[in-house]
Structure 1
Amino acid sequence: MPQTIVIKIGTSSLTQPQTGQLALATIATLVEILSQLRQQGHQVILVSSGAVGVGCARLGLTERPKAIAQKQAVAAVGQGRLMRVYDDLFNTLQQPIAQVLLTRGDLVSRSRYVNVYHTFAELLKLGVIPVVNENDTVAVDELKFGDNDTLSALVASLVEADYLFLLTDVDRLYSADPRSFPDAQPIALVKNIEQLTQMQVKTSDRGSQWGTGGMTTKIAAARIATAAGVRTVITEGRFPHNICKILQGEPLGTQFEPQSQPNRARKRWIAYGLIPMGKLTLDKGAVTAIAQEGKSLLAAGVMAISGEFDSQEAVELCDMQGRAIARGIVNYSSAELQKILGRHSREISTILGYAAAETVVHRDNLVLNYQD
């Protein structure tokens, strides 16, 4: 049965660890596997890191730049080189590809989010393999995905993929970093990500010398993808044949089971596409109404506000201990909310001097526990 498959390969798998030069044998094998999947009728998207790492090698830099301007310049050098390699290899197998460069801003706007979806849908319909990367050349900190693990999960969520493969430099998830803890235990299946906390799994956010990700970001990516109903797999990037073996049912890598009732597309956009511009602290009654009764947030339940935001921007909803319980699109600006917090809905029009929404965040624009 044809499936939609998103494969993310990290810099640590794409490059030689000592030099940062491209690991051409690994890339060639990956290209062959993805082309085979396309020939079998599957829809395939490749999310590829490596632009900055490849740019460093091309320019003779011995370490990854830290200054944003230099990093963006190096990414511009590396992205062209990376795509040239992919295009040459895929072209040998008569497999068309397309470069898709995204920033977080492309997902923040609902209209742009939908447009990105249609672009992917059309490319896949044409039999093209989109090669996706963050647009490091123009992205600024506020609109960065932060790592391609997150980007790949958001892409998998957007296209409602069946599988997300996170190819990395270890064969699977362990209870601790096996390079530092030889007695670390392998984890083959994760039915619920919360079980990792119960198992006291120790993860690192340290990536390779040339990359940005670590196992922490991969678990965060799995959280996003599984919430969208996408089965997520962590496996070793040096052996791309594992992708086919896993699709055929072999118990390789670590598999994260998808949620049985994934969030709707609009809810996923609110949960993971939007960037919170502020926080609302709620009283106990409001937390109960939202978290347990599925109700909207009213002004009476808002105790405090932090940050500056406009109406229709995203905010985090927090309990009195500061824990984020939800994320939603707010109907008031922060300036308006300061005037009406703690007040009954019937008082709002009088206080503001004009007719206004009854709810601060309507339940249709609210997603619970987006990071739980």
Structure 2
Amino acid sequence: MEHKKTIVVKVGSSLLANTERLTPRWAFMHHLMEDIARLRESGAKVILCSSGSVALGLNTIGERPETAGLRDKQAAAACGMPLLLNAYKQVAHEYSFEIAQVLVTLRDLEDRNRFLNTKNTVDRLLDANIMPIINENDTITTEEIRVGDNDRLSAKVAQMVQADELVILTQVEGLFDKDPADPSAVLVEEVTDVSPYLAVTEGVSSLGSGGMLTKIQAAHMAQNAGCDTRIADGEIERPVTSVLNGERRHTKVFADKQPASAWANWLTDRLQMAGSIVIKAAAATALEDGPQNIGREDVISIQGPYVKGDVIHVYDESGKELARALTNFSSDETMALARNVEISALQLLGYKTGGTLITDKNMIVLSDRHLQWDLPDGNDMTEVASSG
């Protein structure tokens, strides 16, 4: 049986909303939805990750992008979401297909059960031949608990549905080797390793929350899952198919030939750091041979707060990130256990437990394929002064 491609398309606010008037850019939406209809008619499953609700709602509450605060953006999202979905629905009906809205928060993607529940919803919509439109729920999220950009959200969605292609539409042709405003800048058309380009991808648009850095980070997450990523200009009559068919210039980030498992990708490709621990040299050395149990006696310092079941980052004393793993205890419980290694876990916590902080089956030791996160600032770390 012929494999039917699954394609995730991400579009940003600057393509969907007029910068000055903050109204829908209908011409772009028509080009986009007509092109998606072509893909669907060819048998592809398409998921759209769309920004735009905040930008489209700002007029309603009398604000501008440059002056809007968090509460303004939350209110604007509430006003703009029905405008955005109504626009999409009107255009989709012209091309005879149905859409559905899926709003997510950071916890929906970082918590395993909620991640799987979201996946089940998206899969069911695709089975019914309905195109999911996924966006972060900006109405209820705060800066501390939000995904932060729809580029990386789209990569998590690509991982979730095991997509073949992630197409990120923006207002430039793709990744350049320096600031695109520089006349000497050269388009990078093919990328296998994103690391060399991270330092030259800063800056964000006036309407969006992400720049080229978040697009490259998203591409890296997608390639870990075996998904190719295309970064391209969206201001084209056939914005998606012309890229997939190789008809115009863009940046292609190639998928890893041996992608990690869905579990490993969920565990390692985080959107935010819930917390971290620094472990002693002997425990760090042991991880060179693969995942190992981490005991309370192995911990030097802790950064939180985090809760049981969160994914935490594991560092050595030099600040090198070694692994990411599910924690068996909250940060407060971890601190109590690590500071009192001579006292039983039952006595400290009030319930029976072996006291192992991390088990090897819930750990991924980082490899060259992973982008390491810097160790949190020392002021955020709490030293373990064990009485043992």
Distance in 1 (CA, whole Å) between partners of 2:174 and 2:322 is: 30
Aligned residue type for 2:371: Q
TM-score (norm 1): 0.89
Aligned to 2:71: 69
State yes or no: 1:362 paired with 2:364.
no
Quote the offset at 1:168 in angstroms: 0.5
Query: Which one of the candidate residues 214, 217, 226 is aligned to 1:220?
Result: 217
> What is the alpha-carbon distance in structure 2 between the residues aligned to residue 148 and residue 138 of structure 1?
16
Structure 1 residue ranges (4+ consecutive) displaced by more than 6 angstroms after TM superposition: none
Q: CA 1:65–1:268 in 2, change beyond 3 Å: closer, same or farther?
A: farther
Task: Give, in angstroms, the shift of residue 170 of structure 1.
Answer: 0.3
Q: Is the 8 A contact 1:303 1:342 kept in 2?
A: no
The 2-side partners of 1:242 and 1:252 are apart by 12
Deviations for 1:36-61, whole angstroms, at most 9, x for unmatched residues?
11111100001111111111245553
Partner Cα separation in structure 2 for residue 87 and residue 354 of structure 1: 53
Take 2:93 and 2:214, find their aligned partners in 1: how far apart are those partners? 32
Q: For residue 190 of structure 2, what is the aligned residue in structure 1?
A: 189
Residue of structure 2 in register with 1:243 after alignment: 240
The match for 2:381 is none
1:1-16 matches, cutoff 5 A: 1-16=3-18
Q: Map residues 1-372 of structure 1 onto 2, 5 A cutoff.
A: 1-59=3-61, 61-179=63-181, 181-196=182-197, 202-204=200-202, 206-239=203-236, 241-250=238-247, 252-272=249-269, 275-341=272-338, 352=348, 355-357=352-354, 359-369=356-366, 371-372=371-372
Unmatched 5+ stretches in structure 2: 373-388
Q: CA separation in 2, counterparts of 1:11 and 1:291? A: 44
Distance 1:302 1:254, change over 3 A: same
Contact 2:291 2:364 in 1 (8 A): no
Distance change in 2, residues 1:65/1:118 (3 Å): farther
**Distance (Å, rounded) in 2 between the aligned partners of 1:194 and 1:231:** 16
Q: Which amino acid aligns with 2:107?
A: G
Structure 1, 316-325 or 350-359: larger mean CA deviation: 350-359
User: Contact 1:228 / 1:263 at 8 angstroms: preserved in 2?
Assistant: yes
CA distance in 2, matches of 1:274, 1:364: 22
Does the 8 Å CA contact 2:322/2:365 hold for their aligned counterparts?
A: yes
1:35 Cα shift?
A: 0.9
Give the Å deviation of 1:178: 1.1
Identity, % of aligned pairs? 33
Q: 1:143 aligns to what SS in structure 2?
A: coil
Q: Which amino acid aligns with 2:161?
A: V
Shift of 1:348: 5.7
How many residues are paired up? 366
AA aligned opposite 2:302: I
How far apart, in 1, do the equivalents of 2:240 and 2:271 lie? 31
- Worse-matched range after superposition: 49-58 or 302-311: 302-311
Q: Which moved more, 1:35-44 or 1:250-259?
A: 250-259
**C-alpha displacement at 1:77, in angstroms?**
1.1
2:386 maps to none
Task: Name the Cα RMSD after superposition.
Answer: 2.5
SS at match of 1:149: helix
In structure 1, give the amino acid aligned to 2:113: S
